[in-house]
Structure 1
Amino acid sequence: MKTLVICSGGLDSVSLAHKVAAEHELVGLLSFDYGQRHKKELDFAAACAKRLKVPHRIIDIGAIGRALSGSALTDNVDVPDGHYAEETMRITVVPNRNAIMLAIAFGVAAAENADAVAVAVHGGDHFIYPDCRPGFIDAFQTMQQHALDGYADIKLLAPYVNISKADIVTDGAKHGTPFAETWSCYKGGERHCGRCGTCVERREAFHLAGIEDPTVYEDHDYWLEAVRKGPGPQGG
């Protein structure tokens, strides 16, 4: 199955790219510049494409991103520290981001005669990101069947949607994902900060998976405090 992977350069999407390369026919990686405060992760997506020997395309939707204001990922708003399962992390929501990216990806896939689009949403995202939940994935597939009826039949692959990030680490290791060549931190510094929600989740995931974390964090142990304060890991 010829599959196009949406790849941000983060741990989840790079692991997905390696999984798809092993299990299907990976035809390319698609990344989006939506005006995020730093674009460092896009370099990791480009490196992943080079490693897997597939084309990499970055689509500029910055004008759209500027209209989706109010998120800590796009505006000059402080990225909160702590666990993803805390209410404060809602400031990292970019409204309708996945719906917009997926709609574009399906158009690209149809134009290029691909059979599927793969996205790395996972169970840990369900709490604060409505466009990462199983109901959204199912509804989006139905919508695209109508949108492309008679033109293309493209499947939406979301193999991580009901599993935890720790499970993704396990699966990524199985498929040889070079975790050190992925970027998660929302603050975009020289090293992972170790304190923002995505750093805490990343650090916790390696711990729960029992796999050595090669990431260098500015604050290596903050995740322990964040997990104690938060309601615990989310997802399956």
Structure 2
Amino acid sequence: AASVCEKLAVPHKIVDISAINQLIGGSSLTDDIDVPEGHYEAENMKSTIVPNRNMILLSLAVGYAVSLKASQVYYGAHSGDHAIYPDCRPEFVQKMDDVCRIANYDAVEIFSPYLNDTKIDILTDGIKMGLDYSQTWTCYNGREKACGKCGACQERLEAFSLNNITDPIEYE
């Protein structure tokens, strides 16, 4: 993230929100539970649901946007997330957008350009924009190298394969 921000000449901020783990849990992304392997399927990926995750993160992003006098927050939910993650569904995004337009004196729009698109569509757009995919991360496991086995890695690898491109990151 730091190198992408540097290239775009925007500030890179790291905000420690780890204290929230005391309040939410029960997920393979927050607790000592194995991240499931295999392609995205509702039953397989349910353990990766973090309660209220995107509402919390969007609230923080909107608060930051207000402090910067920005009018939009971009949200990266995509169509592959809808079946599994309630806070990635179009109705959630619409309600959050409604709230963020009235929650502060200055309205902030939640802009979700890929809400109805696939990871393949996202990859294709990134390639057209010249995005350096070696500087991106998708894996749900917090290790030095991507696992290549979790649902997020599987979708990423599939998107690269369908675009006839080799994924530039290293996998275990």
Same fold (TM over 0.5): yes
- SS of the equivalent of 2:94 reads helix
The 8 Å contact of residues 167 and 209 in structure 1, kept in 2 or not, is answered as: no
User: Which of 115, 140, 156 matches 2:110?
Assistant: 156
Displacement after TM superposition at 1:86 (Å): 4.3
2:96 maps to what in 1? 140
The 8 Å contact of residues 138 and 153 in structure 2, kept in 1 or not, is answered as: yes
Tell me, which stretches of 5 or more residues in structure 2 are unaligned? none
Q: Residue by residue, what CA displacement relative to the aligned partner does 1:48-74 show, whole Å, maximum 9, x if unpaired?
A: 111211012222221223311111111
Moved more, 188-197 or 104-113: 188-197
Find out whether 1:102 has 2:58 as its counterpart: yes
What is the TM-score with the length of structure 1 in the denominator? 0.69
User: Which of 101, 125, 143 matches 2:81?
Assistant: 125
- SS of the equivalent of 1:180 reads helix
- SS of the equivalent of 2:73 reads strand
Distance in 1 separating the partners of 2:169 and 2:80:
20
Q: How many positions carry a matched residue from both structures?
A: 172
- SS of the equivalent of 2:13 reads strand
- SS of the equivalent of 1:60 reads coil
Find out whether 1:63 has 2:12 as its counterpart: no
Q: Residue by residue, what CA displacement relative to the aligned partner does 1:192-213 show, whole Å, maximum 9, x if unpaired?
A: 2111111111101112233332
Distance in 1 separating the partners of 2:170 and 2:14:
27
Distance in 1 separating the partners of 2:145 and 2:67:
38
Distance in 2 separating the partners of 1:217 and 1:86:
24
Aligned pairs for 1:76-91 within 5 A: 76-91=32-47
1:12 maps to what in 2? none
**Alpha-carbon spacing, 1:86–1:145, altered in 2? closer, same or farther (3 Å):** closer
- SS of the equivalent of 2:120 reads helix
Greater share of strand = 1
Aligned pairs for 1:156-195 within 5 A: 156-195=110-149
- SS of the equivalent of 2:110 reads strand
Q: What residue identity is the alignment partner of 1:104? A: L
- SS of the equivalent of 1:194 reads coil
Distance in 2 separating the partners of 1:48 and 1:65:
28
Displacement after TM superposition at 1:155 (Å): 1.4
> Aligned Cα RMSD in Å?
1.3
What is the TM-score with the length of structure 2 in the denominator? 0.94
2:6 maps to what in 1? 50
Find out whether 1:202 has 2:156 as its counterpart: yes
- SS of the equivalent of 1:76 reads coil
Distance in 2 separating the partners of 1:154 and 1:147:
9
**Regions of 4+ moved over 6 Å:** none
Distance in 2 separating the partners of 1:107 and 1:190:
31
Distance in 2 separating the partners of 1:60 and 1:190:
20
Tell me, which stretches of 5 or more residues in structure 1 are unaligned? 1-44, 219-236
Same amino acid, percent of matched pairs: 49
Q: What residue identity is the alignment partner of 1:211? A: I
